[in-house]
Amino acid sequence: MKSTVIKRSVVIARHKTSVSFEEEFWKGLKEIARARRMTLSPLILTIRQCHEGNLSSAVRVFVFEHYRAQAAAASADSSGSFTMIPALANIAAQAH
């Protein structure tokens, strides 16, 4: 399956920036924002405030960790070795 990278502009703290993600990450990010009753810009701002470096990478990791945490919570055997990266745990707590 070939994944297409989509570049979009977003306004974060009154500054326009562009981020590039695969379509699946855009869908996941939108689902997370919808579930938290947020638009994309405030969610991306929250992620940016908690992560230094490349914004696209930070968002990908956030989306991955979100769904990984969901899978772990849904698992009947939650004794696995997964741990959330501390910075991402802070993001999750702030975004709720």
Query: What pLDDT band is residue 86 in, cutting at 50, 70 and 90?
Result: low
The CATH code of the domain that includes 22 is 1.10.3990
Which residue's structure tokens are 């399956």?
1
Largest Cα–Cα separation, the chain:
44
Check whether 59 has a pLDDT greater than 80. yes
* DSSP class per residue in 23-74: HHHHHHHHHHHHHTT--HHHHHHHHHHT--S-HHHHHHHHHHHHHHHHHHHH
Number of domains in the chain: 1
**Residue numbers of the domain that contains 70:** 5-95
Residue 35: is its pLDDT beyond 90? yes
**Res. 71 pLDDT band, cuts 50 70 90:** confident
Reported confidence tier of residue 1, pLDDT bands at 50, 70, 90:
low
pLDDT at 78 over 90: no
Beta-bridged to residue 22, according to DSSP, are 5
Rounded to 10 degrees, the C-alpha dihedral 46/51/56/62 comes to: -70
